[in-house]
Amino acid sequence: MTDNTQQANRVLASIPARDYQRLQVNLAPVRLKFGEVLYEPGKAIKYVYFPTDCLISLLTTVDKRRSLEVGMVGNEGMAGMPFILGIGVSGVRAIVQGGGGALRMASAPFRVEFDRNAALQEALYRYTYALMAQISQTAACNRFHDSEARLARWLLMTRDRVASDTFPLTHKFLAHMLGLRREGVSEAANALKRRKLIDYSRGNMEIMDVRGLKKASCSCYQTVKTVFDRAQGRVHPME
DSSP 42-60: TSB--EEEEESS-EEEEEE
Please tell me what DSSP assigns to residue 89.
Answer: B
Question: Taking the complex as a whole, how short is the minimal distance between the CB of residue 69 and Zn ion, in angstroms?
Answer: 13
**Which one, 7 or 222, has the nearer CB to Zn ion?**
222
Query: Length of the chain in residues, anyone?
Result: 239
Please tell me what DSSP assigns to residue 8.
Answer: G
Question: Taking the complex as a whole, how short is the minimal distance between the CB of residue 150 and Zn ion, in angstroms?
Answer: 6
**Which one, 189 or 220, has the nearer CB to Zn ion?**
220
133 binds Zn ion (CB under 5 A): no
Q: x-or-dash pattern for Zn ion, window 194-223, by CB under 5 A? A: ------------------------x-x---
For residue 208, count other CB atoms closer than 10 A to its CB.
14
141 binds Zn ion (CB under 5 A): yes
Q: x-or-dash pattern for Zn ion, window 13-52, by CB under 5 A? A: ----------------------------------------
Q: x-or-dash pattern for Zn ion, window 145-174, by CB under 5 A? A: x-----------------------------
Size of the site for Zn ion (CB under 5 A): 4
Alpha-carbon distance of 227 to 145, in angstroms, equals 19
**Which one, 90 or 147, has the nearer CB to Zn ion?**
147
3-state SS class at 210 = helix
227 binds Zn ion (CB under 5 A): no
Alpha helices in the chain (DSSP H): 10-13, 17-24, 107-116, 118-144, 147-162, 171-178, 182-194, 210-216, 220-231
* Parallel, antiparallel or unpaired: strands 93-98 and 37-39: antiparallel
Question: Taking the complex as a whole, how short is the minimal distance between the CB of residue 218 and Zn ion, in angstroms?
Answer: 3
Q: Which residues of the chain form contacts with Zn ion (CB under 5 A)?
A: 141, 145, 218, 220
